Amino acid sequence: MGCTVIAGGFWGDEGKGKIVSYLALQDRVDVCVRTGSVNAAHTVLFKGRTFKLHMVPAAFVYERCRLLIGAGANIDVAQLQSELSETGVRNRLGVDRHASIIELRHSSQDKSNDHLKKLGTTGRGVGPAIEERVRRSAKLAKDLPELKPFLADTVDEVNAAIDDKKNVILEGTQGLMLSLYHGSYPFVTSRDTSASAICSEAGVGPSRVDSVLLVLKAFITRVGAGELPDEISREEAIDRGWFETAAGTGRERRSAPFNFELARKVARINGATEIAVTKLDILYGECAHANDYAKLPSEGQDFISNIEKATGVPVTIIGTGPDAMDIIDRRSASVLT
């Protein structure tokens, strides 16, 4: 496996948490670095429990994985403490000394700003906190006594793991179309969300990465304002089984069919070497809980083949249900169909 970057396509909500948790268990990942901030949650369903994580890496399900929060991340301390209690990983989490802090006042600023409200932000304070960091006046993890037990040089740790040929995941958040630079500006997040930015936030040079796994959902959803090509109505989304609410905020997600042209674009910008497609079972009910590609209905196989043709990238992992292990893993035969 080596060092793998997990990046999201489209507008987020693709199921990166499921993919990270599966890889952690299947490949016995040694180190996982979470990037990003608390405005995006990763959902993990494991052993009958559902975890909605804003800070703790989704690889926590593998009990031997060292969990790190990168230098480019923004930390809500109360949220982190809550997730540590929920997951029981306090003894194997490290926080980079230079990760910045989201304070309560940042959330207040976020919620009271008319411009940000029009953009449909989560109100978690991420934008104002990043703005303060850019001004070089933000508090860092090393400045807070309550984070002292977790402080680590995560850059040194993750690069040492790569040197030792260990399995490493760099866990990105949100999706490329929410990137400050490459997304549907101004209806975007406060940072870049590409695979390159994930590497930067984690402190890993691009030449040290072995693979970039782009996660795409079998249909598209987004929360907040901004464009969504071929958007369908709420009623139609409910009829199709596509209606969702955001894991972190509970906000309703808008829906649209899979966009092959957009998939090609996001695969190119991310430099994807592999693609994971999630929720194929929602599109084709016969796919539910399947673990064998050969047993998928022809419609499901054609859909996967069309993604590969559009992007030029092999679909190596297919999600067929909500559990971490509801997966078809095609990595041993990673050739275009």
- Domain holding 322, by residue range, is 3-100+146-333
Q: Is 214 helix (H, G, I), strand (E, B) or coil?
A: strand
What's the total number of domains in the chain? Answer: 1
In a domain, 130, yes or no: no
Q: Is residue 186 part of a domain?
A: yes
In a domain, 117, yes or no: no
Is the pLDDT confidence value at 183 over 70? yes
Is 129 among the domain residues? no
Q: Round to whole Å and give the CA distance between 55 and 58.
A: 9
DSSP H or E stretch at residue 171: strand 168-171
**pLDDT tens-place string over residues 86-142:** 999 999 999 999 999 999 898 888 788 888 777 777 777 888 899 999 999 999 999
258: phi then psi, degrees, rounded to nearest 5: -55, 140
Query: How confident is the model over 207-242, as pLDDT tens digits?
Result: 999 999 999 999 999 988 899 999 999 999 999 999
Is position 207 within any domain? yes
Q: Give the pair of three-digit tokens for residue 325.
A: 């292990």
85 burial via Cβ count (<10 Å: 0-12, 13-18, 19+): exposed
Question: In this predicted model, what pLDDT tens digit does every residue of 57-84 receive, in sequence order?
Answer: 999 999 999 999 999 999 999 999 999 9
Q: Catalytic one among 30, 42, 106, 326?
A: 42
Instruction: Provide the whole-model pTM.
Output: 0.94
Active site includes 13? Answer: yes
Q: What is the dihedral of CA 141, 146, 152, 158, to 10 degrees?
A: -80
Is residue 50, in this structure, part of any structural domain at all?
yes
17, 215 in Cβ contact below 8 A? no
CATH number at residue 46: 3.40.440.10
- Note whether residue 257 is domain-resident: yes
Residue 196 in domain: yes
pLDDT number for residue 151: 98
